[in-house]
Amino acid sequence: MSLPDKAFPVSWDQFHRDARALAWRLAGLGQDFRAIVCITRGGLVPAAIISRELNIRLIETVCVASYHDYVNQGDFQLLKGITPELMVDGGQGVLVLDDLTDTGKTALEVRSLMPKAHFACVYAKPKGVPTVDTFVTEVSQDTWIYFPWDMGFTYQEPIAKGSKG
């Protein structure tokens, strides 16, 4: 398995700060969201943080699979759909959350189900930026983000290999 050269490890503390920054941006929109739909699995953690910060009690999931080998994005599979009540009016007033938009394929698929929902994510890559309404941090397309729920505590190689202590 060959991963991109640029690694961006994110700690729990950093992710929490970034998710709260997203909540501040969303609060600044002046929109009262009636519910959150989080795209699983990545959207679960930001949904927990943002639901608290914005006082949104109704949280739903849309369960999808697209990264089948953690490197190449495969076909989109809808494993669990969205509650019909939240799809009324095209999802108007619903906040759809994910951790990352990479190519934007997942966001576009979910947006086809809820075209009037507000799409937000914590991190975005250039190809995915046009598919979301709000995000916090943009990283290059060739960067692999290591989320805290995917990592253990291990030694990290320095960026400049062979550098002196």
Q: What is the pLDDT of residues 84-130, one digit of tens each?
A: 999 999 999 999 999 999 999 999 999 999 999 999 999 999 999 99
Q: Is 150 designated active site?
A: no
Catalytic residue among 102, 133, 142, 150: 102
| Tokens, residue 64 | 């999808």
Nearest residue to 43 (alpha-carbon basis) of 22, 29, 68: 22
Q: Is 133 designated active site?
A: no
Measured torsion, CA atoms of residues 148, 131, 119, 113, in degrees rounded to the nearest 10: -110
pLDDT score for 151? 81
- Count how many Cα atoms sit within 13 Å of the Cα of residue 8 in the half-sphere of its side chain: 15
Q: Is 18 designated active site?
A: no
Architecture per CATH, domain 6-150, reads as 3-Layer(aba) Sandwich (3.40)
Nearest residue to 149 (alpha-carbon basis) of 6, 19, 5: 19
Sort 13 into a burial class: Cβ within 10 Å, 0-12 / 13-18 / 19+: exposed
Domain ranges for the chain? 6-150
Which residues are annotated as part of the binding site for guanine?
A: 102, 145
Report, as ranges of residue numbers, the positions in the chain whose pLDDT lies below 70: 1-4, 66-74, 154-156, 161-165
Which residues are annotated as part of the binding site for Mg(2+)?
A: 99
Catalytic residue among 13, 75, 98, 150: 98
